[in-house]
Amino acid sequence: MNDGQELAAAASAADPATGLRAVAALRKLVDQLEALQVRNAREHGWAWQAIADALGVTRQAVHQKHAHRTGR
């Protein structure tokens, strides 16, 4: 972490606006990474069940959320 970032962190880590925004951003980031990783796993021939197990969710949940995006 560089000086600027450290300063920003020190100044705003306890600020609710920053904290909440960070949580929302993290959620967005997770969604994007999940879509990418599921797509990649499917391209590598992973079954929906295997993907679901790795994500710790049900097969139905992962299929419903991602099947339309991967086109399968």
Residue 60 · residue 28 · CB < 8 Å: no
C-alpha to C-alpha distance for 59 and 65, rounded to whole angstroms:
10
Counting every residue written for the chain, the total comes to 72
Residues 6 or more apart whose CB falls under 8 angstroms from that of 20 comprise none
From candidates 3, 12, 54, 60, binder to another protein by CB under 8 A? 12
Footprint (CB under 8 A) of another protein, residues 29-48: 29, 32-33, 35-36, 39-40
Residue 8 engages another protein in binding (rule: CB under 8 A): yes
**Interface ranges with another protein (CB under 8 A):** 1, 5, 8-9, 12-13, 15, 18-19, 21-22, 24-26, 28-29, 32-33, 35-36, 39-40, 68-71
